[in-house]
Amino acid sequence: MNLAEFIGASLYRLGVRQGFGVVGSGNFQLTRSFADAGGTFVAARHEGGAATMADAYSRMSGEVALLSVHQGCGLTNALTGIAEAAKSRTPLIVAAPAAVNTWSNFYIDQHQLALSVQASTLTLDDPRRAVEILVEAVDRAKAQRQTVILNLPIDVLDAPHQDAGRLPELPSVERSASTEADLHNLAQELATAEKPVFIVGRGGRDARTELLELARHTGALLATSAVAAGLFAEDPWDLGISGGFSSPTAAQLISEADLIVAWGCALNMWTTRHGKLISPDTRVLQVDDTHEALGAHRDIHVGVHGDVQRTAVDVHDVLVKGGIAPKTGYRRKDIAEVIAKGRFTSMPYEDWGDSTTIDPRTLTRELDALLPRPRVVSVDSGNFMGYPSTYFTHDDVNSLCFTQAFQSIGLGLATAIGAGLAHRDRWCVAALGDGGAAMGIAELETVARLELPMCIVIYNDCAYSAEVHHFDGANHDQVIFDDVDFAAIARGFGLQGVSVRTPADLEPVKQWVANPTTGIVIDAKVASSHPAWWLSQAFGH
């Protein structure tokens, strides 16, 4: 066994089960030994796709995933996906062989590159420390939710290596407790609030039951950031996503709250509509297991350091023990009616479609009714993105996969592959703009090869519409394109393809649902006369 093979096998033994990548000379042996040890490896057609597949797989499965790339150019190709993962704190190991001589054509400074995208970085240049470094890498990914670029200088990878046999057990991840003082503070705020709203982010994805209990006790309404969409599905007090994707009703109710508690939620510009969704008089509390996250994006009145699930249970306990009875709070009968009527799925609208183009809302509603559940919907970036994020019904916290921390277009298709592999029992939907679809199109071959029963819907308006609408009145030559026949392209990749201009054109999709032998691409020619309602809040830094 050489060091490369030892690394591949050891990552499997340390609990990494699913890998993605593009194999070249530097990572061939490592990837081979990972698979031979029992790991599942998906060969992507572009490292950008592989990185995002790994990111989405990890988000949707809760496991540490592996990304395996070729030295230098393999890593640079993967960089956008790695940046997205690092910003989202996705537990991910990037096995990145590295050329050592600066005169090598493959040489780049991989350590600096990792730092530049806020990823964690480790270098395994001493084979004697291989076990220690591999354990450290997996532990950082798992316990600290880091995206770790593991630099592997290629001059040591060929060296013979003794199999170390059993590897050390990784400690299980502890849920951090909040202090007594913080819990009492939080309990006090909740006890006195009349119109509390909880906004729950990625850090609260596993705390549905505990947060529902606490919200019931304190009379709080519930909302999530986009990465936790669906968490409170079917609860009558659920307002859906907070931020740009809020319905007018949800936005109104959030802005009238007297207390907002952010649970594992960054409260970034998108979740708060650049802060405007939170009124200046509202008390803002934030609970997070990472100190640096508290108050990072906006001023808060109280920051509570602790795990979301554990804090929700503990503060509920404080309320009960303190004799604070459950209260109505914001959960009034009139509010329940307003919420029910104000959901996107029941809101009336004037249809923009005609015989040549379909309204993106109508398209999404039709597909929502037509595509079976359970589903996982993955969304690319662009003007269209609010429609699939809000007009599809999200039944639970795993029904939307949203890789948009870096707001990069082109990640949607690969996201859908990673999410679909994490949930093979679900119908998988990729919602893309024509711009994002063109950018990530190589992975259509991966969809076909893996025989994923995926519905890829392209909101095709032959433009980068986000830019067209944002720069209204400007010369749009550089952001308008010729029509592309994505249905024909899909057929070339071995998938089904259908062009859609009216709801009636969706008939072949019904037949596909009955017999989904391969994936289907819906090239939907969408009406683009109006900007999406959320677009004006999307831009910013």
Least separation in angstroms between residue 540's CB and ligand TPP is 12
Least separation in angstroms between residue 410's CB and ligand TPP is 6
Torsion of CA 51, 52, 53, 58, to 10 degrees: 90
H, E, C per residue of 189-210: HHHHCCCEEEEECHHHCCCHHH
Closest CA to 214 of 234, 189, 247: 189
Closest to ligand TPP by CB, 508 vs 531, is 531
Least separation in angstroms between residue 514's CB and ligand TPP is 30
- Return residues touching ligand TPP (CB under 6 A): 381-384, 407-410, 433-436, 459, 461, 463-467
Three-state SS at 389: helix
Closest to ligand TPP by CB, 187 vs 463, is 463
Least separation in angstroms between residue 265's CB and ligand TPP is 23
524: enclosing H helix or E strand: strand 520-525
Dist CA 85 CA 456 (whole Å): 23
Closest to ligand TPP by CB, 229 vs 535, is 535
Least separation in angstroms between residue 148's CB and ligand TPP is 24
Closest to ligand TPP by CB, 21 vs 382, is 382
- Dihedrals φ, ψ of 386, to 5°? -70, -30
Closest to ligand TPP by CB, 52 vs 121, is 52
Angle separating helix axes 180-192 and 208-218, nearest 10 degrees: 50
212: enclosing H helix or E strand: helix 208-218
286: enclosing H helix or E strand: strand 283-288
Q: Within 10 A of 156 (CB to CB), how many other CB atoms are there?
A: 17
Least separation in angstroms between residue 495's CB and ligand TPP is 19
Least separation in angstroms between residue 436's CB and ligand TPP is 4
Dist CA 466 CA 539 (whole Å): 10
Least separation in angstroms between residue 409's CB and ligand TPP is 4
Least separation in angstroms between residue 287's CB and ligand TPP is 31
Q: The tokens of 20 are what?
A: 């993605």
Least separation in angstroms between residue 538's CB and ligand TPP is 8
Closest to ligand TPP by CB, 67 vs 458, is 458
Least separation in angstroms between residue 386's CB and ligand TPP is 9
Strands 221-224 vs 400-401: parallel, antiparallel or unpaired: unpaired
Closest to ligand TPP by CB, 161 vs 365, is 365
Closest to ligand TPP by CB, 151 vs 378, is 378
Strands 259-263 vs 302-305: parallel, antiparallel or unpaired: unpaired
Dist CA 438 CA 291 (whole Å): 40
Closest CA to 364 of 234, 524, 251: 524
Closest to ligand TPP by CB, 1 vs 474, is 474
Closest to ligand TPP by CB, 83 vs 215, is 83
The structure tokens 């640096």 sit at 292
What string of DSSP letters covers 315-382? HHHHHHHTT-----TT--HHHHHHHHHTSGGG--------SS-B-HHHHHHHHHHHS-SSEEEEE--S
Three-state SS at 429: strand
Closest to ligand TPP by CB, 349 vs 539, is 539
Closest CA to 100 of 82, 124, 78: 124
